[in-house]
Structures are given as C-alpha cells and as structure tokens.
Amino acid sequence: MNRISAILIGALFMTANVHAATPDAAKSLGLPEIKTVKFQPPEGERLTLRNGIKVYYIEDTTLPVIHVQALIRTGNVYDPAGKAGLGSMTMDLLRDGGTEKYSAGEMDRQLENLGAVIETSIRLEEASADMTVLKKDFGTVLDIFAQVLRKPVFEDEKTALKKAEELALIERRFDDPGRSVTREALRRFYGPEHPYGIRAEKATINAISKADMKAWHANYVQPGNIMLAVSGDFGGKKNLEDKLNAVFGDWKAGNTVFPEIPAVNTLKKRKIFHIQKESAQVYIAMVQTAPKRLSQDEYALSVTNEMLGGGLSSRLAAEVRSRRGLAYTVYSYAGKRTLEGFEIGYCSTKPGTYSQALETMLEQFKKIQKEKAGEEEVSRAKASITNSFVFRFPTPYSLITNRMAYDYYGYPADYLKNYVDNISKVDAAAVQAISEKILDPDNMVIFVIGDASKFDKPLSTFGEVVELTEAD
C-alpha cells in the first residue's frame, strides 16, 4: 500500500470512529471523547502537455489499475435554440458512435476483451469522459480513449438508435415522479426558456443532425477546453507524460465560440405548479434562490441545511418523518450554479396528508429563519459535515478529479485546505444571519405531482395554482 492510500484509508478509519463517538455517544458508553480528526486532502501533482492540456495526477500502486478523466468546458446550457439535447446526444455518441480508427462494434469488443471501461457524459455546466483500465493495457485503451475524444464519426446506425432512445426517454420522463418533481420545479424556477430550465423535446431531438453533432464536437471538444485527471499505477511522471503526449500532444487547439448565457430571472414569488397524476404518493418540491457558485455564504448555508434537512437527525426529518409520520423521504439542500444557485426542499407523502407535510416543511423553513438555533445543534451539524469530509475522497481517483473540478470552476487554490476550518467557524449567529438573508418560504416556488382528487385540502390553500400536463 502506498503512502496516499494509507493516508486516505487511515483517515477514513479514524473519521468513522469520530463520527460514531460523538460526545453524547461517548458519554453513554463510558468512552473518552475523541477529538475531531484533522484531515488535509493530498495535493496531487500537475503537468502540462505539449499542446497546453493541464494534467492532474496522483500515483497509486495499490492495484495495477489506471483511471483517467477528461473534463470538458461545455454543458447542456450551450444547446442552441430549437436543438435542446444536442450536447447530450453528441457526448453519448462520442463513446457509442465509432471513431475513424475503431468502429463502434470493434471498440465494444476490444474494451470487453480487456475488461476496460470508457464512458462519456454531460451535465448542465460540464462534460466528461472517463476511462478505467488495467496497467498492462494502458497504452492500448488510452489510444481508444483519445480517438473517442478526437475523432468520432457518429455512425449512421448508432446515431439513429441514439435518437430513438432519446425520444423514448422523453416519453417516459415522468415514470419516476420523485425525480421528475425536482427537475420540473427547477425548470419553472429558472424559466422553461432559460438554458438552466430548457429540456429536450421530441421536436428538438428530431431537429438534430449529424452535421450539428460534428460542429458541436469541433467547437467544444478541443485541447483549449480539456483538463485531464489521472490516478493509478502508471509508472511515474515521465511514463505518464510520454503516453499522454503520444495520443494528445499533436492535437491543435481551436477557438471555441461560447454562446452568451442570458442573465437569470428566476421566479421569486409563491406559485404552485401541479401535474395531475394517479399515484399512491404526492411528490413535493419547493425551490427558491440561493447564492451562486463561489459565494462565501456557502459555509453558513451548508451548516443551515445540515440542520434543516441534511439527514435523519435534521429538523425536517424529525418533524415530518419521525414525529408526525407524514413522509419517508424528506430533505433540503442548496445547489450551485454559475449565475444563480437554488435552495430546494423535497418530500413524498400521502395525498390525504399532503397539506400537513407541506405546512410542516414551510414552518421549519420559517422557524430556522426566525429563531436562533442552540449552539449544541449547530455544533452537531458542523461535526456531521467536517467528520464526513474525508468520505468525499474515498480513492485517489476521487481526490484528483475533485481537485481538477474545483480548478475548472475557479475555486481558490486553498479551497479544500480551508474547507473544514471555514465550516468550523460557523456559529448560531451565522446560521440565523444566513437564514434571514437567504430563506424566503413565503415566496418559494412549489411543484406538486399527485392525484388532486385525493388531496385533503385544495392546492389553492397555499397560493396561486397553475395546472400543467406532462407535455407542458
């Protein structure tokens, strides 16, 4: 076991014991209190390829396995008008649509024979390609990985199949109402026409051509927009640098045109959106504005949400789930976006008691906003966050990809180093201050999916109601 793995595993073991031995638990068991572990994530190393691609790497010889991730500066926010879904289809077909050197079938067979994996994906403000391979096959699979990024061909058969899959997903996108309600709540909050709220439709998928995907790829997937993270048994810096330069070094950077993302004009008043759906459960999501990414308010808001809806000991879980028995799943969290973030609360409950669940959630948002919390509750929330901090880095790969991602989004170089200290500085006064500044339960956008014929009270009890269909 190398030094990095030993540090991570040791910290995991120590932190698990710290988490179990909270002051109250230690006293009840007659055990001495264990102090909070001071864990600093290892820095990793960096190098730059001949064409300027930045590489973040950390060597780990525990297993003869190598992981690589390419982080690409793009995202679904850049889908052009009338062609929502273009980025998603293109990224999927980088992997599934064949390359100049490897047909889709050849790539699948070779990766299967080698026990290697290559995957591609896209999110709102980033895209990525991931690779996992045994050390002995690193050069072979790295060549396939480079082909996926550099020279996709979007085979006709695979493109038609992918389009059919996307259309089928649109048909079924409300099959899981628990996921649908948060997606649709955010869509209405940001606005269905804003890039943060636009979703793919049958018409936008059908409008996408192979030429569109080639143009999207040429614009975004090029060296000036790519970072690489590598972990594993790659044989030292020189060997890694040589292998990466061999497949990427002659790739010339182009000039990317990033469409301007319009300013966000989020819905900042109480409005209830409802989709009628026969279901044994009612699914509720409540959304409001929150600080954008890189805000210093992050730390106080994180502690506040840990207290409010971060786990089974949180206020929402204690009141809505445990004391009143109104819901099995209930939570809150703050989401980050570059232009404007969001605060969201969620629960699923019975139609005949939905109003009680919703009222209780709103009450808890108001209570944490109006009443100063006790220092003991704040301390427990902080301990939960800081003691679980190490679990964000269970492997060297997760560590180095996190390092890369924070650089991608422009976080300060010492963000991870100071994270625990910044959380620890939050006190009860800071929780109340951020709650008063941010939380606004009277003006949250509320989205409900469920059978209104079984509701114990009309939705209009809570404000203006807009009835929608799944197609809206």
Q: Where is 285: in which H helix or E strand?
A: strand 282-290
Half-sphere exposure of 436 (CA within 13 A, CB side): 10
Q: Tell me whether residue 2 is in a domain.
A: no
Task: Please give the average per-residue pLDDT across 273-289, as a whole number.
Answer: 97
% of the chain with per-residue pLDDT over 90:
89
Residues 244 and 286 in one domain: no
Residues 195 and 68 in one domain: yes
Q: Tell me whether residue 359 is in a domain.
A: yes
Residues 244 and 283 in one domain: no
pLDDT tops 50 at residue 17: no
- Name the token pair of 238: 């020189």
**pLDDT at res. 25:** 47
Exposed, middle or buried, 56 (CB in 10 Å: 0-12/13-18/19+)? buried
Instruction: Mark 187-223 as b/e (b = at least 16 C-beta within 10 Å).
Output: bbbbbeebbbbbebeeebbeebebebbeebbebbbbb
Q: Enumerate residues 6+ apart whose C-beta is below 8 A from 165.
A: none
Task: Please give the average per-residue pLDDT across 214-229, as a whole number.
Answer: 97
pLDDT category at 13 given cuts 50, 70, 90 is very low
Residues 197 and 283 in one domain: no
Q: Enumerate residues 6+ apart whose C-beta is below 8 A from 318.
A: none
- Name the token pair of 145: 């990985």
The CA distance from 459 to 472, in Å, is 19
Q: Tell me whether residue 262 is in a domain.
A: no
- Are residues 465 and 272 in contact, defined by beta-carbon separation less than 8 angstroms? yes
**pLDDT at res. 43:** 86
Mean pLDDT of the chain: 92
**If we measure between CA atoms, which residue out of 209, 191, 318, 359 comes closest to residue 264?**
191
CATH code: domain of residue 382: 3.30.830.10
pLDDT category at 27 given cuts 50, 70, 90 is low
- Are residues 286 and 344 in contact, defined by beta-carbon separation less than 8 angstroms? yes
**pLDDT at res. 40:** 75
**pLDDT at res. 24:** 52
**Distance from CA of residue 375 to its chain's centroid?**
31
Q: Tell me whether residue 264 is in a domain.
A: no
Catalogue the E-assigned strands of 7-107.
Answer: 45-48, 54-59, 65-72
Model confidence pLDDT, tens digit, residues 407-436? 999 999 999 999 999 999 999 999 999 999
pLDDT tops 50 at residue 10: no
**pLDDT at res. 42:** 82
Task: Please give the average per-residue pLDDT across 151-169, as a whole number.
Answer: 97
**pLDDT at res. 16:** 39
The CA distance from 425 to 82, in Å, is 47
Model confidence pLDDT, tens digit, residues 447-464? 999 999 999 999 999 999
Task: Please give the average per-residue pLDDT across 15-21, as a whole number.
Answer: 39
The CA distance from 166 to 211, in Å, is 18
pLDDT tops 50 at residue 6: no
Residues 237 and 335 in one domain: no
Task: Please give the average per-residue pLDDT across 162-183, as a whole number.
Answer: 97
**If we measure between CA atoms, which residue out of 239, 218, 246 comes closest to residue 86?**
218
Give the total number of structural domains in the chain. Answer: 3
Q: Tell me whether residue 254 is in a domain.
A: no
Q: Enumerate residues 6+ apart whose C-beta is below 8 A from 345.
A: 285, 286, 309, 316, 330, 331, 332, 361, 365, 444
Task: Please give the average per-residue pLDDT across 27-46, as a whole number.
Answer: 68
Model confidence pLDDT, tens digit, residues 190-221? 999 999 999 999 999 999 999 999 999 999 99
**pLDDT at res. 35:** 57
Q: Enumerate residues 6+ apart whose C-beta is below 8 A from 296.
A: none
Residues 435 and 304 in one domain: yes
Q: Tell me whether residue 1 is in a domain.
A: no
- Name the token pair of 385: 């966050």
**pLDDT at res. 318:** 96
List residues bridging with 91 in a β-sheet: none
* Angstrom distances, CA of residue 55 to CA of 181, 231, 466: 38, 11, 49
The CA distance from 306 to 314, in Å, is 7
Residues 33 and 62 in one domain: no
Q: Tell me whether residue 316 is in a domain.
A: yes
**pLDDT at res. 41:** 79
**pLDDT at res. 390:** 87
Coil, helix or strand for 287?
strand
Task: Please give the average per-residue pLDDT across 92-117, as a whole number.
Answer: 97
Residues 340 and 305 in one domain: yes
Task: Please give the average per-residue pLDDT across 129-154, as a whole number.
Answer: 98
Residues 333 and 209 in one domain: no
Model confidence pLDDT, tens digit, residues 360-397? 999 999 999 999 999 999 999 999 999 999 888 999 99
Q: Any idea which of 30-44, 167-181, 328-342 has the lowest mean pLDDT?
A: 30-44
Model confidence pLDDT, tens digit, residues 106-126? 999 999 999 999 999 999 999
pLDDT category at 136 given cuts 50, 70, 90 is very high
37-42, Cβ contacts within 8 angstroms, sequence gap of 24 or more:
37/11, 37/387, 37/390, 38/420, 39/11, 39/15, 39/389, 39/390, 39/420, 40/416, 40/417, 41/393, 41/399, 41/402, 41/403, 41/416, 41/417, 42/4, 42/7, 42/8, 42/399
Task: Please give the average per-residue pLDDT across 309-331, as a whole number.
Answer: 95
Task: Please give the average per-residue pLDDT across 306-325, as a whole number.
Answer: 95
Residues 53 and 19 in one domain: no
Q: Tell me whether residue 92 is in a domain.
A: yes
Residues 86 and 60 in one domain: yes
Residues 235 and 319 in one domain: no
**Distance from CA of residue 89 to its chain's centroid?**
19
- pTM score, two decimals? 0.89
List residues bridging with 99 in a β-sheet: 152
**pLDDT at res. 18:** 38
pLDDT tops 70 at residue 7: no
* Angstrom distances, CA of residue 153 to CA of 13, 432, 440: 47, 55, 50
**pLDDT at res. 28:** 54
**pLDDT at res. 9:** 39
Virtual CA dihedral for 179, 184, 185, 190, nearest 10 degrees?
130
Residue 328's domain comprises 271-468
Pairing state of beta strands 282-290 and 341-349? antiparallel
